[in-house]
A and B are shown apart, each in its own frame.
Chain A
Amino acid sequence: MSYSAEISRVNPSCFLFIIDQSGSMGDQFIQPGFEGRTKADFLADTINKVLTNIVIRSTKTEETPWDYFHIGVLGYGATVGPAFAGSLSGKSLIPVSEIAENPARIEERAKKVSDGAGGLVDQNVKFPIWFESVANGGTPMTQAMTDANGILSSWLAESEHQDCFPPVVIHISDGESTDGDPSGVMTELGNLTSSDGNVILFNIHVSSSDTGSIKYPNSSEGLPDQYAQMLFDTAGHLTPFMIQTARNEYGFEMSDDARAYIFNASPDELVAGLDIGTRPTADENLR
């Protein structure tokens, strides 16, 4: 049965984020509650929170977190390349422990938490930063996907990764490629495999307008254009646990063969998609 491998320190899995850093990501959201925030700023905050959550999930004691996952962030805009900041700059796929020990900086931010009596109080929490907001240049999606292919092929070829729980690639973009048709190389990316199944390419198209989204479809019916079609065609299928999370925790309706795909995602749907995409299996299976 696919997507059933145990994730452990001796059999880690992998997340690769591919992030559009083109000039249009500097546009502001108009959705209520997010007005004034640029897509790039919001995405940077969200990616940093997702990385924090992965580190915390991998933390068992005060010792360095367990390397359940290797993680990479690839940015594409004026340049294409690994997008970690600080001492991790230039590194493509690194274990969770190294990410935990090397944020570029740590901010303190207020977070609303339960007071145990039904109310909420502000609590200062540490907010590590590994990824900075960038919005500059074109959309060299084809180059980014080619680089991602190279990174993941090499990682999967290593003997200790060949039986891994298949990597999840989360691609976030707000527009079409400016360096040719990336569909071929995106299909190749989704055809990479471990013994436990195919790499899952999760395409999230973000929108700063309020035009309504198409979430986790199982067919291309109703997609507005060829670009949306291309993102659907190259998207992988959600794992059963991803579907369970999406249905039970977010109330999203979808079929059992839903694709890892959102078109015109709102900010909330982007956050939900990143949560769903980075929990491909239950945390009880992190051994």
Chain B
Amino acid sequence: MMADVFEPDQRDALQEVVNVGMGTAAAALGAVLESFVSLSVPRIEFVRLEQLGDLAALSGWKDDAGCATRQAFYDQLEGEVIVLFGSEGQAQLSHKLGYDGDLSSTGDQEPLLDFSNVLVGACMNGVGQQLHLDLSFSPPSVLCVNKPVATAIASVTLAVSYALLINVQFVLQDGSFKSQLLILLPEASIPVLKGAVERFVESL
């Protein structure tokens, strides 16, 4: 399907844009967390959303007792980001954000949501800047805390059946903490994205 919608030039350009955007995000996150942060090379592909429950497995996520949040972005590009959190290393991350407790103690979800917001904002703004698209954000919300992530995601009601998925992994320092971002763009957003990518290519 990628082949149908994006021509090879545009496909490469999209990948490049997203790479650069994530690079900027990594730098910004590093500054905020005062740590070394790495964001993987983003994988871009179309997915059928009936497999949303499989999404965790598709992205190679193996953590059973993880956390997941979601946050929507809108304005010049619309979509949602699902963030998966591993159970290891949450305490350190929490501390770096200025919280005492764990990132995901069931009593206090604030560190979890805060970090999610920081991560999503950085990554999406990074991409948005490259494409000259203004983005606004809704508040984040929790999908599950310390539960099997795949099950929690599978129970979400879906509004669309296909989406463009941009899959990025965030790793803190020596790999002590991992998080996975699943950026989902519905079919309706693809033309907008395509237009932005075309303009980007022309401006080069």
Answer yes or no: do A and B interact: no
